[in-house]
Every structure is written in C-alpha cells, then in structure tokens.
Amino acid sequence: MTIKQTLNSVCVWIDSTALSQAIQNAPWVVPTVQTVHILAIAALMASMLMINLRLAGVVGRDQPLARVSGRFSPVIWWMLPLLLISGIFLIIGEPARALKNNIFQIKMLLVISAIFVTWFATSPLKKSPAHWDSRAGLATLVALISVSLWVAIIFAGRWIAYF
C-alpha cells in the first residue's frame, strides 16, 4: 500500500466515525471550532509579536526581555494545545480536506519549526535573563525568522481552503 492509499483509507475511516458524522450533521460545530481556532491565533500572534519585537529591540527597551518573555510566552504555550485540539476537530469533520492537502502538511512542518524557534528564543532567558544582551545581531535574526514562520502558518492555514 502506498502512503497515498494509506492516507486515503485513514480519511475514509475518520469520515465514517460517529464523531465525524455528528460534526458533519450539526452545521454550527465547524464555525464554532473555527472561531476558537481564530481566537487562539489572535492571542498567540499578539504574544509572539510582543516577545519578538522586544527581542529585536524595536519596542519596549525600558522593559527587560526576560520579563516580557515571562509574561507572554505562557500565552503561546497555552494556545498551542487549544489550536491542536480545535485543529483536530476540524480534521475529523472533513478529513480529506486537510490530511490530503499539501499546504496542510507544509503548515504542520511550519508549526513544528515555529515552536522550535520560539523555544530557542525564550527558554535561555529563564536561567540567564541577559542571554540575548550580548548577541543583538543574532537576536534580531531569530526574531525575524520567528515572525516570518508564524505569519507563514497563518498564510498556509488560510490557503488550505483554496488549494
């Protein structure tokens, strides 16, 4: 069996489950779950921007980076499970639309990359609050990569519907 055939069987199986049928038969479920997904994106993006703009030294230089990160990174780590759960609900409701879509697969790789870059930027600050002070150039580069990845995820998320 090829990967494509396996993916196809998985989609057919998910589609036949009671949960998928329930989601498909209640027209309010998908818009509600999408609303949760979008609200979580808003909270994550706002927090991600606060950290990265401070990391790049663009705003809030009167506030220590470790404090900005300590305040906003928990929001990112709490929103991710919410995005995962709401995303899984959207997949169960219409499995082939996401799982067979190349843009969805790229989006998942981007999510993993963005999580790694965010962890790379914020985790050293817990033990060493001045970690990035002596590495201003690298800090700006990391902030730029991080913002680009998160924005690319939004773009990919929207593109799934048109690909």
Interface contacts to ligand HEM, rule CB under 6 A: 34, 37-38, 41, 44, 80, 83-84, 87-88, 90-91, 97-98, 111, 150, 153-154, 157-158, 160-161
Question: How far apart are alpha carbons 145 and 134 in whole angstroms?
Answer: 19
CB of 48 to ligand HEM, least distance (A): 8
Distant-in-sequence, close-in-space partners of 159: CB < 8 Å, separation ≥ 6: 103
Shortest distance, position 16 Cβ to ligand HEM, whole Å: 18
The minimum distance between CB 162 and ligand HEM, in angstroms, equals 8
Q: Are 82 and 107 in contact (CB under 8 A)?
A: no
Closest CB to ligand HEM among residues 44, 139: 44
For ligand HEM, the closer of residues 66 and 153 by Cβ is 153
- Distance of alpha carbon 65 from alpha carbon 76, whole angstroms: 16
Best CA proximity match to 57, nearest among 125, 142, 127 = 142
CB of 161 to ligand HEM, least distance (A): 4
Q: Which pair of tokens denotes residue 39?
A: 């609200």
Task: Give the residue with the Cβ less far from ligand HEM, 41 or 66.
Answer: 41
